[in-house]
Structure formats: structure tokens, C-alpha cells
Structure 1
Amino acid sequence: MSNVQKTKHSIYNTARKLSKEVAADLKVEFHQDVLDIIAELVYKKLVLYGGDLDAFQKHAKRSTITADDVKLLVRRSETLKTVVESKMNLLSSLKPAEAPTAVKRKRK
């Protein structure tokens, strides 16, 4: 089994498990076909997000996806934007204070 297949399988299983937990909280039951459709939608959305993040990183001429790329990805969803910003603030508060760096002058 390839890494892509393993990842897809893991995403499907996790999406089904979370869907069952939500269904239990709502006191409803999802048919197995519905769980499969939800899992497929989650997988396709994650693939789309991955492509978008890759495009943002390449556009910025970077080899690494940054938190700013994620913020750009979720810019249209106020709920997700709030979650991402709060997580970024939490992470930045956990980092040790960095020493100020010297400002480089641009050559003309």
C-alpha cells in the first residue's frame, strides 16, 4: 500500500469515526453510505486545501508552507479564521523571545 493510499485510508477512517461521534451527540444515526460520502468529501476537500497551500507557497517563492498561507486559505470563513489566529497567538506566546535582528539595507 502506497503512502497516498495509507493517508487516504486514515482520513476516511477518521472522518467516519468523527461522523459517528457527532451523530451520537445529536442522537441520530447515519447510514453507512452517508458515512462513506462524508469521508469522500473530507478527503477531496483536504486534497483541494493541499493544492491551494502549495500554490500559495510557490507564489511566494518559498519551499515551505507557513501559517500565513493557512490564514490565506481560511480567509473567507470567519470561524476558521478565528480558530487559526487563536492557535497562532498561542504558539507565538509559547516561543521564547527572540533577540532583535539587525536591519539589512537594500542596495539600489
Structure 2
Amino acid sequence: MADVDEDEVRERLKSALWFSIGKIVDQESLDRNRNATPQFIAALTDLVWHQIETIATDLESFSQHAGRTTVTTDDVLLLARRNQDLYALIKDGIDKERAKRAKGKAKQRR
């Protein structure tokens, strides 16, 4: 019974991904005066889905290797280590969020 629920959730997630990618492709096609076939959208969706699965597996492996059960920002940074631009964007976002949280905690202490 749990397998059926998991399969159903997986299919619903894939459908939502297909819908979102379809909307993005349609908008880009209009902006660029081009056409995209449903087969292209399906192939792009499949590619993105497999990337998501690979990333999720890697993040889980990194956290398990560190002896944790939760994925942290350190795991995400480790995943992005080979792409300097992506790493810099993620690191900047993390630093800004940490600064914002620290500022909020400082206000609460006053």
C-alpha cells in the first residue's frame, strides 16, 4: 500500500514538473518567436527529473557521510563546489540569510 502512495506522489510530482516546464517553455517560445513540440517538453522534463534525483541522492549521501540525518547548507555547497559561479551565488545567499537571522536575533535580545 505504501508503494502505491509513493508511486502516486512521484507521478504527481512529475506532472507538476512537466506543467511548470511547459509554462516556461511556452513563454520563452513566445518571447523568441519559436515553437517547441510536446516531445521537447517531455524530454526536457525527463532530463530535469533525473537531475533532481541525482542531486537528491548526492545530498543524502553527503549528509549521511557527515553522520547527519538532515541535509544542510554545507551539503548544498559541497554539491556546488565544481561550479564556481553557482557556488558563489549559493554562498552569497546563505551568507545574506545568516546575516538577516543574526540581525533578527540581535533585535530580539534588546
Q: Which residue of 2 aligns with 1:93?
A: 99
Unaligned runs of 5+ in 2: none
- Which of 54, 58, 66 aligns to 1:60? It is 66
Could you give the per-residue CA deviations for residues 47-98 of structure 1, whole angstroms, max 9, x where no partner exists?
1100000110111010100011011111112222122112112211210356
Q: Bigger relative contact order, structure 1 or 2, given CA contacts below 8 A and separation 6+? A: 1
Identity of aligned residues (%): 22
Q: CA RMSD in A?
A: 1.9
Q: Is the helix fraction higher in 1 or 2?
A: 2
Q: Which residue of 1 aligns with 2:57?
A: 51
Unaligned runs of 5+ in 1: 100-108
Cα distance between partner residues in 2 of 1:21 and 1:92: 35
Equivalent residue pairs, number: 99
- Which of 88, 102, 106 aligns to 1:82? It is 88
